Structure 1
Amino acid sequence: MLVRIVRMTFQIDKVADFHTIFRQSQPIIRSFPGCLHVELLQDADNPVIYSTLSHWENAAALEAYRQSDFFRDTWSKTKILFSDKPIAFSLYPVTIS
């Protein structure tokens, strides 16, 4: 499994627009092959910072989603709402025995 986190800082007057985009997009993202989970988190100290947390079967599934027309369209609508550069990274869960 691969965990993807994308941290985004929005213009204060664009947060509601992002909420609309995410509400419409979340069920579609969840239906992509290899997507196991997707949720939205809000920063505890700054209400204009949000992160998406998604779980993917593998890196290939995430990459297929990122290359989709749906992702390109959604990302183009989202990135114009930012007030700062987004930060994205992928992680693998670690089990220590």
Structure 2
Amino acid sequence: MFVRLVKMSFEPSKIEEFLSNFETYKLQIRAFKGCEFLELYRDKTDSNVFFTYSFWNSESDLENYRQSELFKSVWSKTKPMFNAPPEAWSVDKLVSLQ
């Protein structure tokens, strides 16, 4: 399992639209084969910046999602709302404390 972090910065006028879009698709993304966890965060100092945090069983599961009609639909609506290029990292979880 690995973690995917995506940083997205939005035009202020598009934030409500982004949040509505996320609300529409979040359960479908979470139910996608191989996705084990999904959260959305908002930066405390820059309210235009959001992060998705997701767990995937394998890199091929994430790639299958990225090639899916679901991703294409979500991304086609999200991408025009950015005010900066998104950034993404795939990382391996080394330690988790509860």
> TM-score, normalization: structure 1?
0.95
Q: CA deviation at 1:94?
A: 1.4
| 2:24 is the counterpart of 1:18 | no
**One-letter code of the match for 1:34?**
G
- Unmatched segments (≥5 aa) in structure 1: none
Residue 9 of structure 1: aligned partner: 9
Which amino acid in structure 1 is aligned with residue 55 of structure 2?
A: H
The residue aligned with 1:67 is 67
User: What letter matches 1:52 in structure 2?
Assistant: T
Whether 1:58 and 2:58 are equivalent positions in the alignment is yes
Structure 2 regions of 5+ residues with no counterpart?
none
RMSD: 0.7
User: What one-letter code is carried by the residue in structure 2 that aligns with 1:10?
Assistant: F
- The percent identity for this pair of structures is 38
CA–CA separation in structure 1 for the residues paired with 2:90 and 2:25:
20
Equivalent residue number for residue 90 of structure 1 = 90
User: Could you say what secondary structure the match of 2:81 adopts?
Assistant: coil
> Distance in 2 between the 1:32 and 1:84 partners?
27
Cα displacement string for residues 19-72 of structure 1 (whole angstroms, at most 9, x for unaligned residues): 011001110001111110011000111001000001001111111101101101
